[in-house]
Amino acid sequence: MKNNKKSIIIALIVLIIIGILFAFFTIYKINSNNFTKEKYKLGIQTEDNTVLNEETINEMVEQEANKYIENTAIEEKTQYDYNSLEKEDTSTELFNEYYAKAIEILKTMSLEEKVGQLFLARYPEENVNKEIRENFPGGYILFGKDFKNETVETINKKIRDNQNNSKIKLILGVDEEGGEVVRVSAYKQYKDSKFKSPQELDLEGGIDKIIEDSHEKTSLLKSLGLNLNLVPVSDVSTNTDSFIFKRTYGKNAEETAMYSKSIVKAMNEDKMVSAMKHFPGYGDNVDTHTEVAIDERDLSQFVESDLKPFKAGIVEGVPIILVNHNIVKCMDNDLPSSLSKSVHEYLRKELNFSGIILTDDLAMDAVKEYVDKGKAAVQAIIAGNDMIISSDFVRQKGEVLEAVKNNTISEDTINRAARRILACKLAYGII
């Protein structure tokens, strides 16, 4: 009997202890929730004095929890073995001496940050620093509208702020070709007159005048905080009726090769990133901003003409080559060059280019009908591009991130592209 009473007493004590612990746990959970809610409430009030109701606060807490779970899942997926990158022989590659440091940086980055590096986004009209902090772009391309209502001082401040808000310094570029395409010198607050076209400069003083002009361009752009000029236009064109003619050197393949090589050399001397365009050669095709261009020429014509300037630039150490949207049937019968694996393989294997391959803007009409389910950026990376010019950066970055998570794109592909981009930034003193 005594033993039964003793057992009952012990059981009661255990139940009481469990009850006390449960009560403490419940109170702690309620207080934690209230603290989290109050934190959100106070945070929002601090920014815009908005008083949130209970339902809104609960939604925000739930959204934050879901975001945490999603980010954790992404981070768990990034347990990448860098041994293969570190041990492979890259001795003949353009940025080889910067790869070790680039890999060190890669190891500190999340998958989302690495995917962000693969985008040269169109400069947004508002909230640019917020976009930089939250989406980690590799860089931005600026257009005339971004300079029109600014001054040297204000654009300098903007760009400094952009760089200060970026964990990894940005590539910031323009198309300042001279002649018809000028983004900065179109406005007198930056230069008294527009930069002249290569053909105009050639008439004034030949290649020496062109090189002098290149140094002047670089000086102006760097003074504004820019570090990339998407030149030279290396397309071979002697047809005055051609869409691309006025933007080119306007001479044969050999002379265009000499011109292109000279520009790349001058810009490398000035530590300014150059980008040869539009591989594999534009030819006498229509404007791909608005139409689909189909090039029916034989490969022999490209080898004997269009490819010569690109070969010369590669020998001189051009860091970036921009691929056009033309369908070049001798290389790929079906897809625009920017989305074609065979075009990219030709550039890598036949021309031995180891720098950054960059798409032309994926918003152009010439690529829209060739994209599966609107996922142009995913197709572009699968094709072999390292970097994408994007007018829809945040959405396209999300699509690429999702493609990595579902194994449509390998993380190795992302890391190799990001390594090239980081190495280029190191080579040109951007980081």
Q: Which helix or strand (DSSP H or E) is residue 31 part of?
A: helix 2-48
pLDDT of residue 422: 98
Domains detected in the chain: 2-77 (no CATH), 83-427 (3.20.20.300)
**Residue 345 in this model has a pLDDT that exceeds 70:** yes
Give which of 177, 166, 116, 119 is closest to 144, Cα–Cα. 177
pLDDT top residue among 361 and 214: 214
Give 293-325 pLDDT, tens digit per residue.
Answer: 899 999 999 999 999 999 999 999 999 999 999
Global confidence as pTM: 0.82
Dmax (CA) for the chain in angstroms is 118
**Residue 38 in this model has a pLDDT that exceeds 70:** no
Nearest 5°: the CA angle 122, 123, 125 is 120
Sequence length of the chain is: 431
Stretch 30-45: mean pLDDT: 44
Question: What average pLDDT does the structure give for the chain?
Answer: 88
How far is 4 from 7, CA to CA, in rounded Å?
5
Cα–Cα distances in angstroms (integers) from residue 344 to residues 181, 206, 382, 390, in the given order: 27, 33, 10, 19
Give 368-426 pLDDT, tens digit per residue.
Answer: 778 877 689 999 999 999 999 999 999 999 999 999 999 999 999 999 999 999 999 99
What's the pLDDT band for 62 if we cut at 50, 70, 90? low
How far is 128 from 202, CA to CA, in rounded Å?
39
